[in-house]
Amino acid sequence: MKVVIVGAVAGGMSAATRLRRLGPEHEIVVFERGSEVSYANCGLPYHVGGVIPDRRDLLLQTPQSLRARFDLDVRIRSEVVAIDRQARTVRVRDLDTGTEYHETWDRLVLSPGAAPIVPDLPGIERALTLRSVADADQLTTLLAEQRPTTAVVVGGGFIGLETAENLHRRGLQVTVVELGSQVLAPIDPELAAPVQAELRRHGVALVLGTGLAKVLPDSVELGDGQVLPADLVVLAIGVRPDTRLAAHAGLDLGPRGGIAVDESMRTNDPRIFAVGDAVEKTDRLDGATVPVPLANTANRQGRLVADVIAGRPARLTGRIGTAVVRVFDLTVAVTGWNEKRLRAADRAHQAVHTHPLSHAGYYPGAVPMSLKLLFDPQNGAILGAQGVGGEGVDKRIDVLAVALRAGLSAEDLADLELAYAPQYGSAKDPVNMLGYLAENIRTGMTRTVQWHEIADRVAAGAHLLDVRTAAEHAAGSIPGSLNIPVDELAGRLADLPDGELIVYCQQGVRGHTATSLLIGTGHRAANLDGGYRTWSDATAETQTASAR
């Protein structure tokens, strides 16, 4: 069988090497329009920043090494410009000579990837992107030769923030411009706030709620009229699936604009498959199509399609979108749906916030983190999770991603037997604690209120009760709250106002104790989920604006 693969890197090369292992007799030809066939795309910002100084460390394989080890015919600088489905040929253009020729195939795998979104704006040709090794080369050359001092990164997503951090590392004065109201759209605002504070703490400026309008010779103009100095402009506003080849060949596209495939990665032509960022994925939680431009998914699809071509049963299950990024000294990780998406879908959900330490507090070096779990209040199904903090965030989100994928309930998290030693965790791991809290809520042992519900509850007649110490209350509190420390509460019940009480402490633990006491004495009470820490993080932008 002759298999032609269009596009290399993650999906295409995974398919090619797996297929060779399964079928030494197959003829496998890979066409790649770029100059590199296998490279660490996610390392590009860190090469620009000098963290990975040697460019060669990003290059994983070459056409020569792939020929020697796997007997693959890999042709770089070769662009497939057309597919003839009836004749089973592709038309290939040699980008160095301009000549074209046809190549036959028995099975065809499309892995064209995705292209950076570049808006049609005045002066946009001066802006750069960071998607390929060639992009990184262009950017590092510009930094070395022109020595810019100011940079504007347009887009506050994962790549945008990694690029901003690494340009800052190179000594540039960096501003991130984000059209949305927060950076990192996959996480909710109360977890995005610490990330924004971290960026500002390191000197990276943020402009939120407006977009790019014009690129000028040494500056940019934004949609709200602001003009920012910008010797260098980098676009990181997302990618769109590269589907031109597939569309011209009459292959079906999905509702999100990617190539439509079934669980075996087949297109509507059973002899043609597609993998990687150009392909529509299925969301595990609702079965809808969803863009998931992640390397692990592309690699999984490449391996799977090789199995299918070789006659082995295989299918791709729904994706949950697990991702992680480092922003200076913070780790940010996410899996599943966020609360914004759940609200937009009008899907019932319950949120739990915690602020644990990375390992046992009595062992030196413990650092704080913030975790958020979202689950279905009716059946306890895990819907999503987010984490922000120091070390250990990635480990907890990975556990929660496995739990979501395995169909565990939120209460099941309490029963997970996770490795414990004081250097690595706590006897009650933060993941276990999320399970305990979910169990308390689902069994009706406790009632909670979310940070964004406070204003409406107070307007309806509820009273705020701060059960922290007087010193903690004086250092910062929710406006209008009464302070009675939890250790004094039993003797001061007569001081409480009538009506519902919204109880809070710093992180929610003392608030839970106080709420249980109040309910036991006949009061209507609910604990502020995540305590003052969550409320303070969530309202940080508003408080900063008020202070100005």
Q: How far apart are CA 152 and CA 177, in angstroms?
A: 7
Render the burial of 457-466: b for 16+ CB within 10 Å, e for the rest. Answer: bbeeebbbbb
- Please state, in angstroms and rounded to a whole number, the distance separating the CA atoms of residues 372 and 99: 56
**C-alpha span between 157 and 176 (Å, rounded):** 10
Q: Which of 22, 42, 179, 288 is catalytic?
A: 42
Residue 293's identity, in one-letter code, is P
Output the six-digit token pair for 422: 């004081």
Q: Are 151 and 126 in contact (CB under 8 A)?
A: no
DSSP notation for 73-103: EEEESEEEEEEETTTTEEEEEETTT--EEEE
The beta-carbon contacts of 376-379 under 8 Å, at least 24 apart in sequence, are 376/348, 376/349, 376/350, 377/348, 377/349, 377/350, 377/441, 377/442, 378/348, 379/409
For residues 2 and 26, the answer to whether their CB atoms sit within 8 Å is yes
Is residue 42 part of the annotated active site? The answer reads yes
- CA–CA distance, 349 with 335 (Å, rounded to integer): 15
Other Cβ atoms within 10 Å of 339 Cβ, number? 22
Could you give the C-alpha distances from 171 to 49, 78, 138, 466, in angstroms and in order? 9, 38, 18, 44
Look at phi and psi of residue 12 and say left if phi exceeds 0, alpha if psi is from -120 to 50, else beta: alpha
Residue in 63, 73, 150, 148 with CA at minimum distance from that of residue 104: 73
Q: Which residues are catalytic?
A: 42
